[in-house]
Amino acid sequence: MNKFLKEFKERGYFYQCTNETELSDLMNNDKISGYIGFDCTAESLHVGSLLQIMCLRLLQKNGHRPIVLLGGGTTRIGDPSGKDKTRKILSEDEIEKNIKNIQNTLKQFLDNDNPDTKPIFLNNYTWLKNLNYISFLRDIGKHFTINKMLTFDSVKIRLEREQSLSYMEFNYMILQAYDFLELNKNENCVLQIGGSDQWGNIVNGVDLIKRYSNKQSFGLTTPLITLATGAKMGKTENGAIWLDQKFLTAYDYWQFWRNTDDRDVVKFLKFFTDIETIEIDNFKDKNINELKVLLANEATTMLHGEKAAKDSEEAAKEAFSGNLLGSNLPSVRINKADIENKINIIDLVILSKLESSKSEIRRLIKGNAIKINDQIISDEKLIIKYDLFNKDYIKLSVGKKRHLKIEIN
């Protein structure tokens, strides 16, 4: 078996593949280009997209070129796969802003220096914006049947639930197939990788290339990840685990991995780190908390750098050791005017972004889950005064695992 596909399976990335034997032979004999598409519906990707990013890294590791396709065109429509309602339509400016930020994040994960495997970043709006509707129907639309399109889960589930599916969304699968055709023609891209919910769309692309150009191409899918608890990967009770540091600090990202369920740790070491699988298989008898720290450090280093990972680990040690104000804790700055205007504990927590709901903060206070300088706060009307600050900052804790320094400008 081809080296790339072998590790793809060893890490648990493999779900389905079209013509696996032929793909293996091709990758043994040639260096190929493979792509993954990312819709740009938000300003940042979250960890739910991380498995796809790891697939791009694995392509590079094995000497192949990854293509990142940013859906500037298809985001204007919305992928119905896995959705039970129509997505919000974003403005042109919002989409362009999202594309720029997502591309910057993806560059942090990929090797941009090796000319043989340097990633190609493309925006499908480049070719979709100029399509002539009549020509597109004649040349591309004729290769698709309504009968087959109605069998795909992205369509069938919505219809079975009697939920609306717009004609715009119905066309999404045709446009995704057309993307693969464009990449095959212009970039000699022969492989599309995606989540298992994309299987129908990917197969459409493989079929379209065969019918339109009489060329062989391939589709490869990964499993949809759920946590041992049954929850969906990418979000927690406190919100999405964003990859962009503007929305989630390196410390909070580190904490997300450190708090991984014991049952998921070894699996996630294979999924989300570059540690060799044979080495991970020998970890099974190691202390689970040591493995969680290893996972957190490896994952955080990959995105934010080694220093951020080490600082986060030190901050966590300081926070849990009772060190009043760990120098490495993430910080939020407030103005002196906030103190002078008699800001209360509820507003301070909201300002810190550790919680956004006043009712939830009140519930936490009643449960003795909010602390200032490691002292439990029981009065929801507490006014934050200067005498609480030690050298212009205090330590604010929400629960056992969320800590911040509040500093005065």
For residues 289 and 389, state if they share a domain: no
326 within domain boundaries: no
The pLDDT score that the predictor gives to residue 236 is 66
Q: Is the pLDDT of residue 89 over 80?
A: no
368 within domain boundaries: yes
> For 9-18, how does the pLDDT look when each residue is reduced to its tens digit (9 = 90+)?
999 999 999 9
Report how far residue 194's alpha carbon sits from residue 172's, in angstroms, rounded to the nearest whole number: 15
Instruction: Please indicate whether residue 355 or residue 162 has the higher confidence score (pLDDT).
Output: 355
Percentage of the chain exceeding pLDDT 90: 62
For residues 299 and 338, state if they share a domain: no
Domain C-terminal end among 279, 297, 321: 321
Contact present, 257 and 268 (Cβ < 8 Å): yes
Please count the structural domains in the chain.
3
Terminal alpha carbon distance of the chain: 60
213 within domain boundaries: yes
232 within domain boundaries: no
For residues 123 and 196, state if they share a domain: yes
Per the prediction, the chain carries an average pLDDT of 89
Q: Which of 227-236, 252-261, 357-366 shows the lowest mean pLDDT across its residues?
A: 227-236
The CATH number of whichever domain residue 267 belongs to comes to 1.10.240.10
Q: How many CA atoms lie within 13 Å of 172's alpha carbon, on the beta-carbon side? A: 27
398 within domain boundaries: yes
For residues 152 and 276, state if they share a domain: no
The pLDDT score that the predictor gives to residue 323 is 55
For residues 301 and 372, state if they share a domain: no
Q: How many CB atoms lie within 10 A of CB 89?
A: 12
The CATH number of whichever domain residue 376 belongs to comes to 3.10.290.10
Q: How confident is the model at residue 257 (pLDDT cuts 50, 70, 90)?
A: very high
The pLDDT score that the predictor gives to residue 237 is 61
The pLDDT score that the predictor gives to residue 321 is 63
For residues 106 and 24, state if they share a domain: yes
**Going by DSSP bridges, is the β-strand pair 120-123/65-70 parallel, antiparallel, or unpaired?**
parallel
SS (H, E, C) the chain: CCHHHHHHHHCCCCCEECCHHHHHHHHHHCCCEEEEEECCCCCCCEHHHHHHHHHHHHHHHCCCEEEEEECCCHHHCCCCCCCCCCCCCCCHHHHHHHHHHHHHHHHHHCCCCCCCCCCEEEECHHHHCCCCHHHHHHHCHHHCCHHHHCCCHHHHHHHHCCCCCCHHHHCHHHHHHHHHHHHHHHHCEEEEEEEHHHHHHHHHHHHHHHHHHCCCCEEEEECCCECCCCCECCEECCEECECCCCCCCHHHHHHHHHCCCHHHHHHHHHHHCCCCHHHHHCCCCCCHHHHHHHHHHHHHHHHHCHHHHHHHHHHHHHHHHCCCCCCCCCEEEECHHHHHCCCEHHHHHHHHCCCCCHHHHHHHHHCCCEEECCEECCCCCCECCHHHCCCCEEEEEECCCEEEEEEEC
For residues 277 and 147, state if they share a domain: no
Domain C-terminal end among 321, 345, 376: 321
Domain C-terminal end among 321, 341, 370: 321
Q: Please compute the mean of the pLDDT values over residues 102-118 and round it to a whole number.
A: 95
> For 270-292, how does the pLDDT look when each residue is reduced to its tens digit (9 = 90+)?
999 999 999 999 997 899 999 99
The pLDDT score that the predictor gives to residue 127 is 96
pTM: 0.81
For residues 216 and 145, state if they share a domain: yes
The pLDDT score that the predictor gives to residue 328 is 66
For residues 314 and 339, state if they share a domain: no
Nearest to 116 by CA among 67, 63, 78: 63
Q: How confident is the model at residue 79 (pLDDT cuts 50, 70, 90)?
A: low
117 within domain boundaries: yes
Q: Is the pLDDT of residue 84 over 50?
A: no
**Residue 219 DSSP SS3:** strand
Q: Which of 109-113, 299-303, 328-332, 380-384 shows the lowest mean pLDDT across its residues?
A: 328-332
Q: How confident is the model at residue 4 (pLDDT cuts 50, 70, 90)?
A: very high
The pLDDT score that the predictor gives to residue 80 is 54
For residues 20 and 146, state if they share a domain: yes
The pLDDT score that the predictor gives to residue 138 is 93
Nearest to 109 by CA among 269, 302, 298: 302
Range of the domain at 311: 249-321
For residues 140 and 255, state if they share a domain: no
239 within domain boundaries: no
For residues 80 and 55, state if they share a domain: yes
Q: Does the CA dihedral 386-392-395-396 come out positive or negative?
A: positive
> For 32-58, how does the pLDDT look when each residue is reduced to its tens digit (9 = 90+)?
999 999 989 999 999 999 999 999 999
Instruction: Report which residue type is found at 269.
Output: L
162 within domain boundaries: yes
